[in-house]
Structure 1
C-alpha cells in the first residue's frame, strides 16, 4: 500500500497542522498527544514516510527507538513517572488510527490507562507538561 501523505502526522511534519513539540531533529519528532490516555502521553514519529513499523527503513527504526528511549527517560524524570507504557500499533487490525508509524509513551500503570482518542485533553495542561518534559531533555 502506498503511503498517504495527507495523514495528520504528515501534515504536522510539514507544518500544516500544529503540534505541542517536545523534541525535534532532522529525523524524528516527539510531540504531545492531544487526546491523551494519561498526563504526559507523548508520541514519537520518524520523519520518514512509513505507514507501519514493517514499512520503516531499519536505520530509521534504529534511530527512532533511540529517541523513544531518550524521551521516555525525560518523561520519567520530568513527571516523576513510576512506569512508562510503550505502545506501537501497526495496522488497522492492531488499532492503528493514523497511517504513519508512531510510538506512544504513556506515563502510567497499564491498569490505569484510559481509552485512547476518546476525549480532547486540556491544551494548557498538555502544554505545561510538554515544557516539563522539554526541560528534562
Structure 2
C-alpha cells in the first residue's frame, strides 16, 4: 500500500519515497503492475509515464525550488517500473549522498508542504 500520495490520475501515481535522498524525493509509478525495465514498456505506457513525471516535476519544482530536478530510473530494487524525481541543489553532492529511512512524521511534514504548495 502506498504511503504519502502527492499526485495521481487514472493511470499513474506519485508517492514520497520512504528512503529519500532529499526532501521531496518522489516515485512516479504506473497503477498497473509492469515489469521493472522501462524500455520494455509499450509506447503508450512509456509516454504516459513520462507525461506524469513532467507534471509531478512541475509540482515539485514549484514547492522545493531546486536548482535542478534529477530524473532517475534504477530498476533494481522493486520489480515494478517507477521513476525517481529528486529535487537537487547545487551545494549538495547527490552522487555521494546516502538515502535514509524516513520516519512517518518526516514524510508527513514533506507531504503537507507539497499539499500547501
Counterpart Cα distance in 2 of 1:66 and 1:77: 17
Whether 2:101 is the aligned partner of 1:126: answer no
**More strand by percentage:** 2
Tell me which residue corresponds to 2:43: 58
Query: Which residue is equivalent to 1:98?
Result: 78
> Any unmatched runs of 5+ in structure 2?
none
1:115 partnered with 2:95: no
- In the aligned structure 2, how far is the partner of 1:98 from the partner of 1:68? 18
CA deviation profile, 1:60-117 (whole Å, cap 9, x unmatched): 1111111101111111111122211110124xxxxx111111000000148522234x
Structure 2 counterpart of 1:37, from 14, 21, 31: 21
Structure 1 residues 35 and 62: CA distance shift in structure 2, 3 A:
same
Q: Which consecutive aligned stretches of 4+ in structure 1 deviate over 6 angstroms post-superposition?
A: none
* TM-score normalized with structure 1 length: 0.73
Contact 1:31 1:44 in 2 (8 A): yes
- In the alignment, the residues of structure 1 paired with residue 9 and residue 80 of structure 2 have an alpha-carbon distance, to the nearest angstrom, of 18
The structural deviation recorded for 1:135 is 4.1
Q: Evaluate the alpha carbon distance shift between residue 135 and residue 71 of structure 1 in structure 2; reply closer, same or farther with a 3 A threshold.
A: farther
CA-atom RMSD in angstroms: 1.8
Residues in 2 aligned to 1:21 and 1:49: alpha-carbon distance in whole angstroms = 17
- Secondary structure of 1:60's match? helix
- TM-score after normalising by structure 2: 0.84
